[in-house]
Structure formats: structure tokens, C-alpha cells
């Protein structure tokens, strides 16, 4: 298979990646046939998967606009993915010119493409790092240059925590990040769950199996398990809810039934 110019040399283009599969669901062009094949297999069980991803992106944009409206001008987006339509820096910087944004991802394609998109943007940058190593993220020169940890930050963990198994203790990483951020910081989370999926659970499990097969298991947590990520935060109204129900711009009843799968929420420290 020929390697396109945007694909870093270090990547394995013979096995699927979570970020490239997600790019495909969203209609992007930074994916390979192996990614599309996995995505199509997952969609055989849940044909509405792209609707969930669109609801996820729409939630994220509303949450960033909300944070900016509440005076936050620094954003740390971990598991930021391959840039696509309506990225965090575009939303944040149009709501608050000069807002600082640091993206973090462990996927080389996501990092390389973010670097390309941000080349001319002095107030945004990207770090290649793992959520499970918060000190590497916080100590990176990009965070040191752009984020003032003495002032509130919006920490985005959008559609990433469901790729971290309990054995790797995502709760510890989230708590460590919370403790490093100034009072008044926000946590923005979306997370997959069997709750809300408009299908029999056995059918949805077919999709989960596809991610197991590519050795990137999708961890479907319950609402209560997802709520535990917000320990130490006060929930912003309306709390942890199906994504279209969180401060909607348009009538949630007009949304596709698939968009109500999983949860989104925002918390703020006192
Ligand atoms: C489904 S995408 C979400 C992208 C974006 N946040 C959004 O919601 O549109 C999940 C991203 O998390 C990244 N990711 C998964 N586990 C990670 C980890 N432990 N550390 C850093 N990034 C991770 C993947 O590489 C992928 O780009």
C-alpha cells in the first residue's frame, strides 16, 4: 500500500487505528482501507454510529462555547484526534480571541495532522503523549508555553476514556489532572455506554467486539461509573445526560435516536 504524504513514517498502516476509524465515521479523508473495513464491520451492528460521533462533536462544541462564555480561555484537549470540522481551537478562539489550546494524542497521525493545521496558530499546539502519564503532559514544553496552571483550564476528555481499561486506572489519571488544575477549572467528558443505545444489547456488543479484535477495546461504562470521573467537580446543569440533552441549540427530539447513546457532562471545581 502506498503511504500518502500526510502519514508519518512511524505508523503501521496495515492495522486499523481508533483515530482513523473515527475520522472515517465523520467523513474525513485521513484513513486507510484497513480502518474503513473495521468501521464498516462496526456499522453492520450499529448502522447509526456516525450519528453518535456527530452528536459527540456537537456536544463538544457547545461545551467549549459554554466554558468560553464562563470566562475560560485555556483548553487542554486530551485524545483530541485527527482535526476535522469545527475543532476546539476554532470554537474557543472565535468565542475568545487569543484563547490558548493544547491538543494531546498518542496517535501519530492525529499529532502530525494537528501540527499541520496549527502551523500558523501561535496560541495552539499539540503534544504527543498518553493520558495515563499526566506529568508528561503537564511538563511538556507546549503546556508550559501556552497554559498558565495557576488560572482555570477546561480539560476535555471527549470520547477517549472509553478506550482506557479499568486495569490502567483512568480514574487515577483524571484525578491527577484535576489536582494539577487551578480552582474554577472545568472537566468536559463524553463516554460510550450501553445505556441509551436504540438496539438490543447483544447487537451493540457486535460493535464492541470489532474494537476488541483490533486490540483497542471499547469499554462501555454505566452512567454511575462515568459519573465517578467527576469526583471533586460540581456538575454544571443539566448534569451527566445523553449528549443531545446537554444545553441543546436545537430541539433534542429532532435528533436521530442513535445520538442519545452514551453520556456527556461538564463539571467545575470550586
Ligand atoms: C474517538 S477519538 C476522539 C477525538 C475527539 N476528542 C473527538 O471527540 O472528536 C479518540 C482519540 O483518543 C486517542 N487516545 C486513545 N487513548 C489515548 C491515550 N491513552 N492517550 C492519548 N490519546 C489517546 C485516540 O488516538 C483518538 O485520537
Tell me the CA–centroid distance for residue 130 and ligand 1, in Å.
10
Number of helices (H) and strands (E) in the chain: give both, helices first.
Answer: 10, 7
Rounded average pLDDT over 121-125: 98
In this prediction, residue 5 carries a pLDDT of 83
Q: Where are the alpha helices (DSSP H) in the chain?
A: 18-25, 33-45, 49-69, 88-95, 108-118, 134-138, 141-146, 170-180, 201-213, 223-227
Whether residue 58 has pLDDT greater than 80: yes
Domains defined for the chain, CATH in brackets: 51-196+222-268 (3.40.50.150)
- Band of residue 200 on the pLDDT scale cut at 50, 70, 90: very high
In this prediction, residue 45 carries a pLDDT of 95
pLDDT tens for 33-46 read 999 999 999 999 99
- The per-residue DSSP string of 57-99 comes to HHHHHHHHHHHHHTT--EEEEET--S--SS-HHHHHHHHSTT-
Task: Give the Å distances, CA to CA, from 242 to 73, 122, 157, 181, 270.
Answer: 26, 35, 16, 27, 25
In this prediction, residue 4 carries a pLDDT of 85
pLDDT tens for 214-252 read 999 999 999 999 999 999 999 999 999 999 999 999 999
Nearest residue (by CA) to ligand 1, atom 27, is: 81
In this prediction, residue 9 carries a pLDDT of 86
Nearest residue (by CA) to ligand 1, atom 1, is: 159
CB–CB of 123/129 below 8 Å? no
Rounded average pLDDT over 19-31: 95
Tell me the CA–centroid distance for residue 199 and ligand 1, in Å.
25
- Band of residue 1 on the pLDDT scale cut at 50, 70, 90: low
Instruction: Please identify, by atom number, the ligand 1 atom nearest to the C-alpha of residue 168.
Output: 19
To the nearest whole number, what is the mean pLDDT of the chain?
96
Q: For the beta carbon of residue 122, count every other beta carbon within 10 angstroms.
A: 10
Q: Which residues line ligand 1 (CB under 6 A)?
A: 18-19, 22, 56-57, 60, 79-81, 105-107, 110, 130-132, 158-160, 163-164
pLDDT tens for 208-218 read 999 999 999 99
Within 13 Å and on the Cβ side, how many CA atoms surround 261? 24
Rounded average pLDDT over 100-111: 96
Instruction: Please identify, by atom number, the ligand 1 atom nearest to the C-alpha of residue 57.
Output: 9
Amino acid at each position: 500500500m502506498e503511504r500518502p504524504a500526510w502519514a508519518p513514517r512511524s505508523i503501521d498502516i496495515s492495522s486499523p487505528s481508533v483515530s482513523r476509524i473515527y475520522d472515517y465515521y465523520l467523513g474525513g479523508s485521513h484513513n486507510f482501507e484497513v480502518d474503513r473495513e473495521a468501521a464498516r464491520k462496526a456499522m453492520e451492528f450499529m448502522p447509526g454510529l456516525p450519528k453518535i460521533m456527530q452528536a459527540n462533536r456537537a456536544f463538544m462544541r457547545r461545551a467549549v462555547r459554554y466554558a468560553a462564555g464562563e470566562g475560560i480561555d485555556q483548553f487542554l484537549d486530551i485524545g483530541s484526534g485527527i482535526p476535522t470540522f469545527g475543532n476546539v481551537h476554532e470554537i474557543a478562539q472565535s468565542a475568545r480571541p487569543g484563547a490558548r489550546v493544547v491538543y494531546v494524542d498518542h496517535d501519530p497521525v492525529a499529532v502530525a495532522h494537528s501540527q499541520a493545521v496549527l502551523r500558523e496558530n501561535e496560541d495552539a499546539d499539540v503534544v504527543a503523549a498518553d493520558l495515563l502519564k499526566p506529568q508528561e503532559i503537564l511538563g511538556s514544553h507546549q503546556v508550559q508555553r501556552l497554559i498558565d496552571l495557576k488560572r482555570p483550564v477546561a480539560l476535555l476528555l471527549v470520547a477517549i476514556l472509553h478506550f482506557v481499561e479499568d486495569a490502567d486506572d483512568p480514574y487515577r489519571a483524571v484525578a491527577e489532572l484535576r489536582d494539577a488544575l487551578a480552582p474554577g477549572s472545568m472537566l468536559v467528558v463524553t463516554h460510550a455506554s450501553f445505556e441509551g443505545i436504540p438496539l438490543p444489547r447483544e447487537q451493540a456488543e457486535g460493535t464492541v467486539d470489532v474494537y476488541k479484535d483490533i486490540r483497542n477495546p471499547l469499554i462501555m461504562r454505566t452512567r454511575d461509573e462515568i459519573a465517578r470521573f467527576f469526583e471533586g467537580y460540581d456538575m454544571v446543569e443539566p448534569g451527566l445526560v445523553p449528549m443531545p440533552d446537554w444545553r441543546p441549540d436545537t430541539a433534542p427530539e429532532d435528533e436521530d435516536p442513535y445520538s442519545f447513546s452514551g453520556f456527556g457532562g461538564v463539571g467545575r471545581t470550586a
